[in-house]
Structure 1
Amino acid sequence: MRRSAVLSVIALVGGSVLVAAPAHAAPAPVPGCGAVLTADARLTADLTCPEGDGLVLAEGVTLDLRGHTLSGSSGAVAVVLPSLGDVTIRNGTIAGWGEGMRTFDTWDEVGGTVTVSRVTFSGNGEGVNTSGKLGSTGKVHEISRSTFTGNGTGVGGIYGGAHVVRSTFTDNGTALGFITGGFLLEDSRLEGNGTGVSCDESGCRILRSRIVDNGVGVDARQFGADIADSVLQGNDTAFSSFLVWGLSNLERNTFKDNGTAVTLSISNATLTGNVFRGNTLAFTSDGGAPDFASTLVGNRFVRNVDAVVVEQPGTSLQDNVADHNQGWGIYAPGATDLGGNQARGNGNEPQCVGVVCGSRPQS
């Protein structure tokens, strides 16, 4: 049954319908599971729905969970969103659903904004499914000060997008996973997830965030991902790129204590002004193929096991510093030397292979 039939079906088969309240009236209590909310509503106690979708929102509705938990079954959706119009969900917990929220019909026109504030998504298959119309776009999802923990995927979707601010993702299979969509993540923390970010043929941008102790911090494919002013620490692999014919830009980040900090495979990427410290391997690339290249400018590699190890051509280096790494400083036979690279105190000699490095004076 298509989601476009949800409103009429629930109304006819015993579900409650909350009709519009007079202007300025206080939000009405949610009648119960299966309710179709056509006016602002609030939970007055925890609500558990053993089967079927939880609540259906009409355009313009605000659902205030009031600190309570809306819980349900793994085969259903907690909050079903209208295909058009703005809605708001805030202040509570959504737990144990197949999907915490999603738009009910993405075959027809989709538009409007979903605002999610101070909501915890726990133990769902997917916390927020942002998927939109096939081959087009979905609703705008503005998510702030929310927590995603123990979900299969925290926020994701196909042909969907999200703006996530000041939120926390812990112990999810994938914190954010997007295919043919995109997101902007700001001032947030991704910790202890299997994968922090999976960005496949999507526009993904991360600013001022912490990506810590994940299996893979960021996995980018096709279009690449942009990360700036962030900390990637303690991940098995902090940034992995495969077949990115677009371009990833990594700027002014700190990569610390990762297994591998950055690994590129057949990918374009530019790394500018990053600091790499305490990683087992700071940077490596397979050199890509014709028309694929990486450029490292003004990065600092300090006290890693190996700093830069690139076996194949396809990498350009300029103004990078590699100091006191246990093994290689810069090992990049066949690299393009743009000048200004420096190295000293690394365990392997020569200090640089593939580029000419100056040795800075001792301070």
Structure 2
Amino acid sequence: MRMTSVLSCLVLAAGGVLVAAPSHAAAAPVPGCGAVLTSDSRLTDDLTCPSGDGLTLTPGITLDLRGHTLRGSATATGIVLPNVGDVTIRNGTVAGWGTGVQTHDVWDEVGGTATITRLTFRDNGRGVDTSGRLGGTGKAHEISRSTFTDNGSGVGAVYGGAHVVRSTFTGNGTALDFITGGVLLEDSRVEGNGTALSCDESGCEVRRSTLADNGVGVSARTFGADVYDSTLRGNDTAFTSFGVWGHSTVQGNKLIDNGTAVTLSTSNATLRDNLFRGNELGFTTDGGMPDFTATLVGNRFVRNVDAIVFEAPGTSLQDNVANDNERWGIYAPNATDLGGNRARGNGYEPQCVGVVCPAGGPRS
């Protein structure tokens, strides 16, 4: 008896039906300009769309650009996301659009997660717009291992947020731009942009990232912004805040070779355990209204032109060290002295104004 006959008898005896799987799974469809994708799709070549939106995704879809470029018009959107449901976009370049990726209608209910990975966004008005509906839950945007180059804005939103990890931003007008939203930026490099992070009425947080050679590193308004364990280097201004009635925390960072490292205007903030080195000015504040306060604890200011310089009340200093700065060590005539501040080797005397520093502070 032939082997196929034996198998057939066994299957029939079990009361089942044996269906052979095809030797190769069906290839994902190849979309064209203006297509609405209802199944997983991929590009097999570059796709240029001279007018109108590029591709529209429906819920549950994965779009794989396979290393190709989706290019289009500065008045249209490259990839339109569904209002609800999860989608994934990966492996390619989105270039020349008014907006590279954006949800269809943010004034309707918005939800689900958009996963964006290993993409390059170049020469768009905005790379990824994560805006959501005012008062709605919004769509979560998980952006990883992506590059944003020469866009007006890299990632931004009004009433929306994003989680950005292991990504690079260079040459953008504003790399990350959020109004009434928020972003968590982790393990990323943001270099050579007009502004690295603009955070207005938003909850913004930076962790383990490098913000270098930007006009402004972090600009915070209203709610504040938190920066942890990061390097801010070579920026005209590394961290600036205005009108922050919330609170900013700047902790465990290296602020190196900036014009002004930290400047606060009418803002609440805590600066803790940071290293300030080689800046034109380490820290300054205008104090603002009486209800706004700042606290500096355990920071080290070494070899700046000026370390700590401000005259306004409302700022407390504790356990800070200012050594070997070209001019002022600690000049803070109206500060609240919480003790433990030290200074030595600075160009201007006295070494400390406004706080008591023991003679002969610790070496750098």
Bucket of the pairwise TM-score, normalised by the shorter protein: over 0.9
> Is 1:309 aligned with 2:286?
no
Structure 1 residue 145 displacement after superposition: 0.2
Output the amino acid matched with 1:333.
P
Q: CA RMSD in A?
A: 1.3
Give the Cα–Cα distance (whole angstroms) in 1 for the partners of residues 127 and 133 of structure 2.
Answer: 19
Structure 1 residue 248 displacement after superposition: 0.3
CA deviation digits over 1:213-257, x for unaligned, max 9?
Answer: 000000000000000000000000000100000000000000000
Indicate conservation of the 8 Å contact 1:27/1:39, yes or no. Answer: no
Q: Which has the larger radius of gyration?
A: 2
Aligned position for 1:360 = 361
> Is 1:290 aligned with 2:280?
no
Indicate conservation of the 8 Å contact 1:226/1:249, yes or no. Answer: yes
> Is 1:348 aligned with 2:348?
yes
Structure 1 residue 362 displacement after superposition: 5.5
SS in 2 for 1:111: coil
Give the Cα–Cα distance (whole angstroms) in 1 for the partners of residues 138 and 176 of structure 2.
Answer: 16
Indicate conservation of the 8 Å contact 2:211/2:233, yes or no. Answer: yes
Structure 1 residue 25 displacement after superposition: 4.6
Give the Cα–Cα distance (whole angstroms) in 1 for the partners of residues 137 and 64 of structure 2.
Answer: 27
Structure 1 residue 106 displacement after superposition: 1.4
SS in 2 for 1:190: strand
SS in 2 for 1:346: coil
Structure 1 residue 108 displacement after superposition: 1.8
Output the amino acid matched with 1:230.
S
Give the Cα–Cα distance (whole angstroms) in 2 for the partners of residues 159 and 300 of structure 1.
Answer: 37
What pairs with 1:1-363 in structure 2 (closer than 5 Å)?
Answer: 25-358=25-358, 359-360=360-361
Give the Cα–Cα distance (whole angstroms) in 2 for the partners of residues 249 and 314 of structure 1.
Answer: 16
Unaligned runs of at least 5 residues, structure 2: 1-21
Indicate conservation of the 8 Å contact 1:284/1:310, yes or no. Answer: yes
Give the Cα–Cα distance (whole angstroms) in 1 for the partners of residues 210 and 29 of structure 2.
Answer: 38
Give the Cα–Cα distance (whole angstroms) in 2 for the partners of residues 98 and 27 of structure 1.
Answer: 31
CA deviation digits over 1:117-158, x for unaligned, max 9?
Answer: 000000000000000012334200000000000000000011
Give the Cα–Cα distance (whole angstroms) in 2 for the partners of residues 170 and 118 of structure 1.
Answer: 16
Give the Cα–Cα distance (whole angstroms) in 2 for the partners of residues 52 and 287 of structure 1.
Answer: 50
Give the Cα–Cα distance (whole angstroms) in 2 for the partners of residues 330 and 98 of structure 1.
Answer: 48
SS in 1 for 2:246: coil
Output the amino acid matched with 2:186.
E
Which segments of structure 1 move beyond 6 Å, counting only runs of 4 or more?
A: none
Question: How many aligned residue pairs are there?
Answer: 341
Give the Cα–Cα distance (whole angstroms) in 2 for the partners of residues 362 and 187 of structure 1.
Answer: 32
Output the amino acid matched with 2:318.
Q
Indicate conservation of the 8 Å contact 1:173/1:195, yes or no. Answer: yes
Structure 1 residue 361 displacement after superposition: 5.3
Give the Cα–Cα distance (whole angstroms) in 1 for the partners of residues 124 and 218 of structure 2.
Answer: 22
Give the Cα–Cα distance (whole angstroms) in 1 for the partners of residues 337 and 46 of structure 2.
Answer: 63
Q: 1:25 to 1:84 in 2, by over 3 A?
A: farther
Give the Cα–Cα distance (whole angstroms) in 2 for the partners of residues 26 and 67 of structure 1.
Answer: 20
SS in 2 for 1:30: coil
- State the TM-score, normalized to the length of structure 2: 0.92
Unaligned runs of at least 5 residues, structure 1: 1-21
Give the Cα–Cα distance (whole angstroms) in 2 for the partners of residues 300 and 324 of structure 1.
Answer: 11
Give the Cα–Cα distance (whole angstroms) in 2 for the partners of residues 159 and 273 of structure 1.
Answer: 33
SS in 1 for 2:267: coil
Structure 1 residue 208 displacement after superposition: 0.1
Give the Cα–Cα distance (whole angstroms) in 2 for the partners of residues 208 and 282 of structure 1.
Answer: 21
Give the Cα–Cα distance (whole angstroms) in 2 for the partners of residues 26 and 157 of structure 1.
Answer: 38
Indicate conservation of the 8 Å contact 2:125/2:152, yes or no. Answer: yes
Give the Cα–Cα distance (whole angstroms) in 2 for the partners of residues 227 and 194 of structure 1.
Answer: 19
Q: 1:59 to 1:304 in 2, by over 3 A?
A: same
